[in-house]
Structure 1
Amino acid sequence: MCGHSSGMMGFPLRLLAREVYDRVRAIKGDEAVALITGEERIEPENARYFCCTVEAMDRLGGGHAFVALDEAQLAADPERGHIFTDRLLNARGREETMLLGSATVEPLVKRLIPGVEMVARPRFSTLTHAGSTKLSRLPPRSAMVGFSAEQVYAMAEMLRRFRGGAAVVMGALSPETRNRQVELFQNGEVDYIVATDAIGMGLNLDLNHVAFGALTKFDGRRKRRLTPAEMAQIAGRAGRHQRDGSFGTLSGLRGTGEAPEFTEEEIYAIEEHRFAPLTHLFWREAEPRFDSLGVLIGDLESAPTAPELRAAPEAIDLAVLKRLADEPFAAEIKGAGLVRRFWEACSLPDFRQVGPDQHARFVGRLWLDLREGYLGADYVAARIAELDRMQGDIATLQGRIAAIRSWAYICQRPDWVLARDEMAARARAVEAKLSDALHARLTERFVNRRTAILMKSLGQDASALPVILEQDGKLTVEGETIGRLDGFRFSVDPEAGAADRKMLLAAGEKALPGILTQRADWLLGEGLGELELADAAIRWGDRPLATVDMPDDFAAPRLTLTRDVTLLPEAPRKRLEDGLQAWLTGKLEPLEPMRKLAQAARDPEAGSEARALLHTLIAGHGVVSRENAGLQHLPKELRPYLRKLGVVFGALDIFAHALLKPAPRQLLHALGIDRRPLQDAMLPVIAEQKRLPAGYRPAGSQAIRVDLAEKILRAAFDARAKATGADKKPPARFALDTALPISIGLEQGNIARLLGAAGFHQHRARPLAEGMYGPPAPDSWSWRPRRAGEKSPQRRSPEGKPGKGPQGQKRGARDDRRKKQPQTGPARSGGAFDGLAELLGGKPG
């Protein structure tokens, strides 16, 4: 066609017309080429080359230099054959006319068109019968053919489960959707395509094998077996140019009964490309008279005169015309112009495939609007807008596409719609959106891209599997997630179905040694900062890497790698274990004071008394009260030795000061050694709790860290010592500045509670007499060591007044009685008096 000054080609499908239009436009330019179909019209003003559907082409050729008719053998098709026959008999080019088709139509063409020249184009490749094959054993780059939507969907679903999915091609799909599905197959995203007999025309595919799921189909009137020519039309999709192909049948399909089988005659006809010639073509009057509806129907039902032609079966347009001719409004259709217009309305294609009765009702409603003139733009826009919805399943979207194709056809008519170009553009836009949505639904349902990729990769060497570890821990193959890595633990993608999990697990495990080695090296090089010590284990995020067992001597801890880490190859596992051991050693440096205490507790030269105290101190995780320390058994000459180890002998507690810092307390808690509540920052003062954190002692409604409590008590003993007179006897009462405990955070009432535990008693000053002015007298304090067996003083109210203690006893009267009793008898060893003796350098008691 491009070798002539002008031309027109008629195609059986609009997607074929569109394909050739794009190719000619690339050669001749946009302004020289037109595309005319029932639903689309692109016609530049100076167009010289026309690509059309057969129905849309000029029946006489339009006066072009070149005219061609593709798939001429479709003149024997019961539904559309009469249109192909009319173009075959009448469409002519000024310089050349070409009829493209099967050799089966050759005898009829020779008889109908005298002097026609026959040119054969033999197939360059061979087509071989391959027998029956199970779906699970189909070779890659295969097509499966069924003849119902249910069978196509069933085969596609099985392929999705076992082979990663398939593209789907059916006649009910829009051309755009079909092209998108074919593209999935052509670019290798899937290795299989499932189709109806729509695959046999207009689709050039890179196929190696065609498998028939059935050899019978319903042709609109009855269920019949395919003819050998129809079988060959479909099987011929396998192989291209000089590459051979094969065809066969599918076995083992559920719900289909026995597997279909080709006969010997059919195999021979397909392989040798020898088919019985056509005996007739279908014909219908192409130029009927429009005098009346009756005359029109009579002409359309008239018989041909040539013996090679037969009257076409009643097509959908004629069936609609005859049904609507009986409607009351048909009586008003008079005159050639109105009858012609009515026939054009009845010729609206049944895109929805709903049958003559329902389609006739749609055409009848359309005619009631058309008979008065044009369809309003607002009305058409509203109908298009109703279909502009992308929700729904595959069947719903197919129905909307069929409906919008009807409106696209209506909008293309030159005298049916106001603002025709705008409405046609809207209809095409909605069809494109619906086609995209339908393609997405088909792909979502029948294509498991992840499985398809893995099916291609599982046979490869593990090192060649293209598994990539993303930054968020996901494992992907060509962008598809197969699972994730939490620490060193691989888990299959939770969204994977049961049928896919085994394959995904196998894919992950094949690549896991290399991936885990990379992860271990990254962790040792850059990721150590992400590790933490918690619950007696080294953890990376939510996953433990190794459990930590701290020995009694607090020396080198023992690591036990978790099962996740043991999946590493031996060499990287050893590197990781050594790296974790080094990291843990540095992490445990704040526990060096505890290690020194543990070593001294095992030193025979330390003496049994000192070792006993050290064991008690270690059991208390660095803190023990004097009452529980057993100081009565510790010789005083051993105390300097213990002080060198960091042990502090306080008035109320014995403690290792270095172990009261936040770092060692957190480590003891993380190692599971100290299971008391943790105070991360080791604040000086906290609110009283039912179970105090390690390193705190109660002080009324608050708790104070033991080293700060000791600091306050030392300041109190220093104040008493400074108040000693010339006779070097401690005074009965003395002044005490409470600025230090207040600055630390103790409340006024809780200061007396803390000091009271060490034997200090607060004496409230008398208030000023009435009428007296000036600052009030300061409170005074006294100190008395507790006697052996004496309980700790009871709680006092914040105002300093006697209150009820835990046993419900009144303290006021008891304090008065105590003042009258002589202070005789030794103080209990290990009490606050021992602390005072140490501060003053004297002897306890």
Structure 2
Amino acid sequence: MGITAALGPTNTGKTHRAIERMLEHRSGMIGLPLRLLAREVYDKITARIGEDRVALVTGEEKRIPPRPDYWVCTVESMPVSREVDFVAVDEIQLAGHRQRGHVFTDRLLHARGRLETWFMGSESVRPILEELVPTADVHTHPRLSQLRGIGNLSLGALPPRTAVVAFSAEEVYAIAERLRQRRGGAAVVLGALSPRTRNAQVALYQSGEVDYMVATDAIGMGLNMDVDTVAFAGLRKFDGVEVRELEPGELAQIAGRAGRAHNDGQFCCLSPAGPLPSAVVDAIETHHFPVMRRVIWRNSDLDFRTLESLTASLRARPPRRVLEPVRAAEDFSTLVQLSAREDIQALAKGQASVELLWEVCQIPDFRKLLLDGHVELLANIYRQLASPRGRIDPAWMAERIDRIDDVEGDIHTLMTRIAFVRTWTYVSNHRRWIVDAEAWQARTRAVEDRLSDALHERLVARFVEREGARASGRATREQRRARKRTRSTTVQRRRPQLDRAAVAEGPFAKLLELDLRPSAGSDASGAVRDDAWVQALVEAPHERFALREGGWIVDLEDSEDAPELARLGRGVDLLRPEVSLLVGEALGAGARARVQRRLVAWTRDAVTRLLGALRSGAADALSSDARGLVYQLEQGLGTIHRSAAEAQLRRLDGRDRKRLESLGVRVGERLIWAPKLLRAPALRQRAALCSAALPKGVSVPAPPGGAVSFAPNPEVDAGAYTALGYPVLGDRAIRADMIERLLGELARLDGGAGVGLDGREGAKLAGLVGVRREQLEAVVEALGWTRDDDDEARWRAPSPRSRRARRSSQGRRR
């Protein structure tokens, strides 16, 4: 089991490398420091391999398909008891964090993959790694771009694509308001925002509707945005215990958000803050910081026999000097307060009851109330769970959720309600605590979505100038685009109706071939779909979409129209087509990117489901040669010429052949195919994928239901018909299984004197493959049979040598 430590500053590609490495394994798990970053990585992975194989697990969000191969989690939510081949933990230097550090330290000490483990973080954690994980192979990665300090700037002097970082919500709001007055507006990103609101705010910035972002240091942990400059509005923060100066390493983590990939970035202080001492600026630019000497630790081997034994085990002293005991853990403080109550003491008797109390204590205080208020809520929850019923009272829970299901109010009120509903979302993800967990998860998610949409609207209304003229006398790029769209729409309304018959007879007939239908981002009148439509599309189950002939992805929500959302195009291979959106530009770049990711993920899952039989667990037991054959069969969408896999076939033993048969693979004289993929639903998908790989305007239609052959389009490469499951013989595309049946019948009829294709035998053979009598000879000739030199009415089978030569020739051509 190999352990790798990938260390270096921000923008070195550490997380990207870890994701790529994880996907090289058959299973894996990655722990990330923020739920927003976990969602970003989940979106990235599912856009590559689909959603059926990837689970997302955070405190408030669980998306777990039936059989996931990969797990994307917050570090606290990693199901470490689950065995996977690869495990990675990001930002491992957070093991030194006062409140959360003990979780990262525990992962450093105990989280391991069966085959490989990665820890990514700052170079400052190297001494800790060398002491606690001496077998780790440490790699240092340089930053991909330069980062430089540019001193102090006033708000008016900030260049576009700047993120201003403040350390309180009040300061974020104040700066965003000033940017609205001076520069037309800013997006606002705080750690307390829901993922839905955060995504909508980032979309404002990423699409160019606003050129500035005001954020807390939540953006410092790997969130990827197109930021050129980071400006610090202050250099002190409240860390949950005290107000203190930011350390150079923390400043570097945030400043490192400037620049992406090979684009250089810069950082500064926003007047009157700062300036940064020259030594700190130099440390950030050169990425040299004091090394960590100790990390935070808490005992993970807990004793649940009694409340006293649990408390004692949590207070256990660390076994090594490099480990510093946690001093202010919220869950432990909650446990101490609850344990002091007589009613809780009476209920917490026995290991199961004590363990349940500790689970309840770990419900986070999203509301950030005084500890007493949070403790009172948890005491109420525990009393219900420890009662004979063993579940939270649905009426009691519904009453509290109803109180916060209200989209009226200001920004602060909505954020408070979102924090409250996050608590209930966390609770609803504990299936043992409530009746009908799925329904409660849907309920809390719907409430959070409504509140998030309302919060986004309030943020835009308050911090984004929507008037035509701004104080600076200029309009944003989005406003200019909107005016162009308005002018275009006005012109179209005045335009007379097109006389298509007249055009068809004139020199502009080709214009009729253009697709001028309204895009899926608009309705028939051209009105722009709203954010709710985009969110519903992104969160929709797979059943909402379908793949139609020609490679169109359609939305089945509207059963009458089934509007087209996107079209598949040529990708790196048949299994990974490109997805070209038809969603209108009016949605904005951020919304388009979210829809694009969803449809790409759906497409990847559609391919996986199509080829599911070939990727079942039985495939794991195959030899390398058999797996190579299955790989070729996948690449051919379920049908290949035997000649392409002849080398592997020669090396297969009896067990491999039986396992291939159990996977539904049939090996014939000329073809290798999967019979299940010749059924009508699979053929429709195969036709769409084949069409995507062809030049624009050329497509492969799905064969009519039950058809054993049809006339191929001579402009389409014969390989496309093989991938469809209908290889071309002569002037007919014939279903793979029927070609093998034809070969079997020819062999049966051939008694050494050849086969006559005239008369009853010829009619039977022609009917078998669905061709006319006069077409049969071309089909038989394409199979390598030749006329008898002495009797032209009879056909001779190819000799073994000529069959081998023909197969070799076919293999070279393909």
Q: Under TM normalisation by the shorter chain, which class is it? A: 0.5 to 0.7
Which residue type is aligned with residue 442 of structure 1? L
* Corresponding position of 2:160: 140
Cα-to-partner distance string for 1:10-64 (whole Å, 9 max, x where unaligned): 111112222222222233332211111111212122111111111111235x210
* Corresponding position of 2:128: 108
- Of 312, 315, 329, 1:301 maps to 315
Distance in 1 (alpha carbons) for counterparts of 2:472 and 2:220: 28
Distance in 1 (alpha carbons) for counterparts of 2:307 and 2:181: 56
Which residue type is aligned with residue 197 of structure 2? T
* Corresponding position of 2:83: 63
- Of 28, 45, 50, 1:7 maps to 28
- Of 334, 340, 345, 2:355 maps to 340
3-state SS of 1:391 partner: coil
Give the CA deviation at 1:468: 9.2
Distance in 2 (alpha carbons) for counterparts of 1:297 and 1:459: 58
Q: 1:341 to 1:468 in 2, by over 3 A?
A: closer
- Of 407, 414, 432, 2:424 maps to 407
Cα-to-partner distance string for 1:493-536 (whole Å, 9 max, x where unaligned): xxxxxxxxxxxxxxxxxxxxxxxxxxxxxxxxxxxxxxxxxxxx
Give the CA deviation at 1:331: 2.2
Gaps of 5+ in 2: 1-21, 491-814
Asked if structure 1 preserves the Cα contact closer than 8 Å seen for 2:189 and 2:202, the reply is yes
**1:76 is the counterpart of 2:76:** no
Distance in 1 (alpha carbons) for counterparts of 2:226 and 2:302: 45
Distance in 1 (alpha carbons) for counterparts of 2:439 and 2:476: 54
Give the alignment's TM-score, normalised by structure 1: 0.53
3-state SS of 1:173 partner: coil
**1:33 is the counterpart of 2:54:** yes
- Of 263, 279, 303, 1:243 maps to 263
Which range moves more in the overlay, 464-473 or 287-296?
Answer: 464-473
* Corresponding position of 2:402: 385
Asked if structure 2 preserves the Cα contact closer than 8 Å seen for 1:458 and 1:465, the reply is no
Give the CA deviation at 1:308: 1.2
Which range moves more in the overlay, 142-151 or 339-348?
Answer: 142-151
Q: 1:403 to 1:468 in 2, by over 3 A?
A: closer
**1:364 is the counterpart of 2:384:** no
* Corresponding position of 2:39: 18
Q: 1:185 to 1:455 in 2, by over 3 A?
A: farther
Asked if structure 2 preserves the Cα contact closer than 8 Å seen for 1:381 and 1:423, the reply is no
Asked if structure 1 preserves the Cα contact closer than 8 Å seen for 2:54 and 2:71, the reply is yes
Aligned-pair identity in percent equals 46
* Corresponding position of 1:395: 412
Asked if structure 1 preserves the Cα contact closer than 8 Å seen for 2:344 and 2:383, the reply is no
Q: 1:368 to 1:124 in 2, by over 3 A?
A: same
**1:349 is the counterpart of 2:364:** yes
Counterparts of 1:107-126 in structure 2, within 5 Å, are: 107-126=127-146
* Corresponding position of 2:448: 431
**1:331 is the counterpart of 2:345:** yes
3-state SS of 1:44 partner: coil
Aligned residues: 465
* Corresponding position of 2:566: none
* Corresponding position of 1:274: 288
- Of 131, 145, 170, 2:190 maps to 170
Give the CA deviation at 1:381: 2.9
Give the CA deviation at 1:454: 8.4
Distance in 2 (alpha carbons) for counterparts of 1:459 and 1:229: 36
Asked if structure 2 preserves the Cα contact closer than 8 Å seen for 1:380 and 1:423, the reply is no
**1:288 is the counterpart of 2:296:** no
Q: 1:324 to 1:452 in 2, by over 3 A?
A: farther
Give the CA deviation at 1:449: 3.6
Q: 1:189 to 1:63 in 2, by over 3 A?
A: same
Q: 1:68 to 1:343 in 2, by over 3 A?
A: same
Give the CA deviation at 1:170: 1.1
The structure having more radius of gyration, on CA atoms, is 1
Give the alignment's TM-score, normalised by structure 2: 0.55
Gaps of 5+ in 1: 253-258, 474-845
3-state SS of 1:248 partner: strand
Distance in 2 (alpha carbons) for counterparts of 1:279 and 1:435: 41
Give the CA deviation at 1:287: 2.4
Which residue type is aligned with residue 390 of structure 1? V
Which residue type is aligned with residue 154 of structure 1? A
Distance in 1 (alpha carbons) for counterparts of 2:481 and 2:195: 39
Asked if structure 1 preserves the Cα contact closer than 8 Å seen for 2:222 and 2:257, the reply is no
Q: 1:471 to 1:42 in 2, by over 3 A?
A: closer
Which residue type is aligned with residue 230 of structure 1? E
Q: 1:322 to 1:454 in 2, by over 3 A?
A: same
Counterparts of 1:617-766 in structure 2, within 5 Å, are: none
Distance in 1 (alpha carbons) for counterparts of 2:158 and 2:439: 48
Which residue type is aligned with residue 147 of structure 2? L
Asked if structure 1 preserves the Cα contact closer than 8 Å seen for 2:384 and 2:393, the reply is no
Asked if structure 2 preserves the Cα contact closer than 8 Å seen for 1:10 and 1:52, the reply is yes
Distance in 1 (alpha carbons) for counterparts of 2:292 and 2:53: 38
Q: 1:132 to 1:290 in 2, by over 3 A?
A: same
3-state SS of 2:380 partner: helix
* Corresponding position of 1:54: 75
Q: 1:464 to 1:308 in 2, by over 3 A?
A: closer
Cα-to-partner distance string for 1:624-657 (whole Å, 9 max, x where unaligned): xxxxxxxxxxxxxxxxxxxxxxxxxxxxxxxxxx
3-state SS of 1:55 partner: helix
Give the CA deviation at 1:458: 6.8
Asked if structure 2 preserves the Cα contact closer than 8 Å seen for 1:165 and 1:452, the reply is no
Distance in 2 (alpha carbons) for counterparts of 1:48 and 1:467: 47
Asked if structure 2 preserves the Cα contact closer than 8 Å seen for 1:168 and 1:442, the reply is yes
Distance in 2 (alpha carbons) for counterparts of 1:340 and 1:468: 61
* Corresponding position of 1:318: 332
Counterparts of 1:790-801 in structure 2, within 5 Å, are: none
Q: 1:325 to 1:205 in 2, by over 3 A?
A: same
Give the CA deviation at 1:471: 12
3-state SS of 1:154 partner: helix
Distance in 2 (alpha carbons) for counterparts of 1:381 and 1:465: 43
Give the CA deviation at 1:457: 4.3
Which residue type is aligned with residue 311 of structure 2? I
Counterparts of 1:778-793 in structure 2, within 5 Å, are: none
3-state SS of 2:151 partner: strand
Distance in 2 (alpha carbons) for counterparts of 1:146 and 1:263: 19
Give the CA deviation at 1:422: 0.8
Q: 1:448 to 1:289 in 2, by over 3 A?
A: same
Counterparts of 1:551-570 in structure 2, within 5 Å, are: none
Counterparts of 1:782-821 in structure 2, within 5 Å, are: none
3-state SS of 1:310 partner: strand
* Corresponding position of 1:565: none
* Corresponding position of 1:179: 199
Give the CA deviation at 1:260: 1.9
